[in-house]
Structure 1
Amino acid sequence: MSNTTHDIVAKLWNLCNVLKDDGVTYHQYVIELTYLLFLKMAKETRTENQLPEGYRWDALEGKAVSDRLEFYKLLLMHLASHGSTLVKEIFANASSSIKKPTTLSTLVSGIDKLDWYSARQEGLGDVYEGLLEKNAGEKKAGAGQYFTPRSLIDSMVHVMRPTVEDIIQDPAAGTGGFLIAANRYLRENSDLDSWTKKQQRKYRRNTFYGMEHVQDTHRLALMNLMLHGLEFDPQGAGIRYGDTLSPEGEALPKATLILTNPPFGSKKGGGLPTRKDFAFPTSNKQFCFLQHIYLGLEPGGRAAAVFPDNVLFEGNVGKQIRADLMDKCNLHTILRLPTGIFYAQGVKTNVLFFTRGKKEKDNTKEVWVYDLRANMSQFGKRTQLTRTHFAAFEAAFGDDPLSSPASLAQRTDTGEQGRFRQFTRDWIAERGDNLDIAWLKDESNSVTHELPEPATLAQEAMSELEAALEELRGILDELGEEVDV
């Protein structure tokens, strides 16, 4: 993120303090700003023709302070059923939590004063993505559950190498980060001028697909895609609002590339998915999404997906799904991720890389495991995960996104002291198809480090205490309790 973008994002995030003072919860911050930013950005990008006249930024800004909030709430309801399809999707069931007319006026004024010329030069998509990232960094917002670190997304996209021929899908799209990164990679690594008209048409209408189950998150995703120049078609490409684990997910077109970080946990209410194509029904969402992914790939299609450790070792139906995955696909690589990179510090995760076979049986002959977890830094606010942390993995993975037998033969097993090792399918079968494979002794907690200066330790302790207090205030706020701390 450039300094200019960082500055604009910081100013936008500061407006959230205005919302906080009006009793708006962390969960609603970016949603409230999105409604207003859509109106303002439509004006700045000269795309206001998708909004009905009389319900645009200037109409809102032109209202007297005392009348503006009432008009704004009518505007939100009106846009849910008027304007372009994209407008109606973003404002579907929209409502505002703002209570005071002065709050709305402060937001309108603050947004209007931003350096929109610089924002356009930097890219409005980067500004909006920066705002989403800022929101995800706030534990209280709970946004981290649908925000995958940009460095991890970029690394996964890099080794999967999207092309204009691909049909790319994210069945748990969140705010659209994977599809946007895939589009960025595709455009940066293609000669756009050489595309045929057929390729250009296919790129616009039949390349990027996704589904998101939470309506407010779906709004953010549509806004994000729009600002990055990706088209929305309710019958075709774009991120649809729906449940991937229902027949809606079955209706997604077969993909040649799936990139995703599905939600953790069990299906709400403990019920089974309503899809008919799952051979192994389970309330465990991760295993449901895993089935969706490998069933949703075209023969020869490839996938990179984030899953927690339990997907690697859980028994019963979990074991059956892993066996089915290794039959139908070549599960060639597992990347063990460091801890602390998601909103829940204790969650241990992995990226599974696999290619759908041309046949239905015996596609996995060997699995390569890269351990990026043992003896790694504890990532969090103080130690940021960056793309450089993935450089050695990307080099070891190689240049072939399909990881064919010939390319796997070029890999080097680094032995028990190294991070990259090969395990045969037979060896994995002998251990009950348990893929939770670790061999390095993790000494990161037992290594003796030189202690920092006392003043540094005191500062760190104060920062952590302040963060804890702020978190407690947020909880009390959510519960509607008076805050005396």
Structure 2
Amino acid sequence: MTSTTDIVAKLWGLCNVLRDDGVTFNEYVTELTYLLFLKMMSEVRDPQGGLREERLPDGYRWGKLAKLEGVEQLDYYKRLLLDLGKPEVKDNLIRSIFTDAQTRLRKPTNLKALTSNIDQLDWFSAREEGLGNLYEGLLEKNAADKKSGAGQYFTPRPLIDCIVRLMKPQAGETVQDPAAGTAGFLVAADRYIKDQTDDLYKLPEAKAYFQRHSAFVGGELVPDTHRLCLMNLLLHGIEGGVDNIDTLSPDGEGLPKADLILTNPPFGTKKGGGRPTRSDFSVTADTSNKQLAFVEHIVRALNPGGRAAVVVPDNVLFEDNTGRRLRTWLMDLCNLHTILRLPTGIFYAQGVKTNVLFFQRGKRDKGNTKAVWVYDMRANMPAFGKTRPLTVAEFADFEAAYGSDPNGGAKRKEQGEDGRWRCFNREAITGRNDNLDIAWLRDTEAEAEETLTEPEDIAAAIIGHLKAALEEIEALSEELEPDSVGEAVAIAEAAE
């Protein structure tokens, strides 16, 4: 999509205008989102053919904003952002996108430069290729820019698409992401379903309505990220579904049960060493380790027979005490059939070692995991980074080994000690004290990192290793002296 790529590049170039007005890298996309939302609303038709712009109150639309000049335009823009987030706005989605919205722009000339440049973009081509694709491209551009910091744990699109292809979301299923970010997993699942149903036209109207309004649910903690998430969903024809909540609080208990959960939860500990406040949590109720707590949420949120694919750091696989209890509980309640050991360097924080857990919720609560298949995509892999980005092709061998059954039931063939694909029965895992950090190939990660040449990649690798080490120390401290963890975390955060 050459036109979309060109438009994304031009939009990102407008960030220089924002920087001149004191807007930081972290605020770039949020600031552009307000303006792009108004412009795109004037360009998009909804599935029923009505202009989306009609959802905005009269007098709060792009046409009026773009015509104004100078201080009058800036004052009108500030008032527009404030008013669209007020309770009296009847459209819930519009109100959610603009809740607490405010501009960082101070110079009228810069606002005029932005509105003029946005108006001059090739919106005909953008409409043809999909405004949702354009917006996703902007989010990905932001994540790829080291200075923005947005990509620290940004899930690469090739990985998202691989997971979605394997999990095969179906029309009529409820799909949840409890840590939705900018909705990358939900949008990819929606795209997969639309490809199977001729953009939902093959579905009866009631099912099509469900797909647009109820199929995709989740939570996102950070307000600005939630704003980007809602806009991304809207531009792909999905009406909301993701709430601005802390999933590890009682609000998370209210998320609908799911047939499929796809997610990359945040890593690390809750600020101040706080524990989850969920009344339904038992295994992780006493830990501040977010990734362990999210795994408990995912298991509890699945319908019987429901399936999940979740990105987790290595310590979920090997941590003792709470970690071990969680793994044993998970393998009892679910069929944990597959673990993908991901290569290092695919996330901005290069030192973070990650995996994807694929499992299915059992219809009974005991003995669901009989064996775990492990694919090692980490050992003897090249260094991924700015000079060698992750591509779809990297996952081809894993997808072939995984097979066509989303729940790991396809016929599989072991590759032996010299291959990347091996099976470990439940007895063998029990003999490891339920430690799932299983590696048998010589790991050349250190050698690979020596090949990093970009200063930004090298710095990111160093920072990532330090953060990973700090998190492991915090987890160990929590097990030894639970009462002192909050103070230790606070000191560490203050040091940052």
Whether TM-score is above 0.5 comes out as yes
| 1:335 aligned onto 2:340 | yes
Instruction: Name the structure 1 match of 2:104.
Output: 97
Contact 2:296 2:326 survives alignment (8 Å) = yes
Residue in structure 1 matching 2:455, options 436, 440, 464: 464
Instruction: Name the structure 2 match of 1:73.
Output: 78
| 1:432 Cα deviation from its structure 2 partner | 1.1
Instruction: Name the structure 1 match of 2:118.
Output: 111
SS at match of 1:353: strand
SS at match of 1:143: coil
Q: 1:464 to 1:411 in 2, by over 3 A?
A: same
| 1:120 Cα deviation from its structure 2 partner | 0.6
| 1:346 Cα deviation from its structure 2 partner | 0.3
CA deviation digits over 1:215-243, x for unaligned, max 9? Answer: 000000010001111122xxxxx111111
Instruction: Name the structure 1 match of 2:14.
Output: 15
Contact 2:378 2:445 survives alignment (8 Å) = no
| TM-score normalised per structure 1 | 0.89
Contact 2:386 2:457 survives alignment (8 Å) = no
Q: Using the alignment, how far apart are the partners of 1:40 and 1:443 within structure 2?
A: 49
| 1:267 aligned onto 2:270 | yes
| 1:163 aligned onto 2:184 | no
| 1:205 Cα deviation from its structure 2 partner | 3.1
| 1:146 Cα deviation from its structure 2 partner | 5.1
| 1:320 Cα deviation from its structure 2 partner | 0.3
SS at match of 2:192: helix
SS at match of 2:260: strand
Q: Matches of residues 20-419 of structure 1 in structure 2 within 5 Å?
A: 20-45=19-44, 46-81=51-86, 82=89, 84-145=91-152, 147-190=154-197, 192-232=200-240, 238-280=241-283, 281=285, 282-404=287-409, 407=410, 410-419=411-420
| Unaligned stretches of 5+ residues in structure 2 | 45-50, 460-496
Contact 1:36 1:108 survives alignment (8 Å) = yes
Q: Using the alignment, how far apart are the partners of 1:466 and 1:429 within structure 2?
A: 38
| 1:202 Cα deviation from its structure 2 partner | 2.7
| 1:194 Cα deviation from its structure 2 partner | 3.9
| 1:333 Cα deviation from its structure 2 partner | 0.2
Q: Matches of residues 419-430 of structure 1 in structure 2 within 5 Å?
A: 419-430=420-431
| Unaligned stretches of 5+ residues in structure 1 | 233-237, 452-459, 469-485
SS at match of 2:404: coil
Contact 1:413 1:421 survives alignment (8 Å) = yes
| 1:445 Cα deviation from its structure 2 partner | 5.0
Which amino acid in structure 1 is aligned with residue 229 of structure 2?
Answer: A
Q: 1:334 to 1:104 in 2, by over 3 A?
A: same
Contact 1:341 1:380 survives alignment (8 Å) = yes
Q: 1:193 to 1:77 in 2, by over 3 A?
A: closer
Contact 1:51 1:83 survives alignment (8 Å) = no
Q: Percent identity?
A: 59
SS at match of 1:342: coil
| 1:343 Cα deviation from its structure 2 partner | 1.5
Instruction: Name the structure 2 match of 1:481.
Output: none
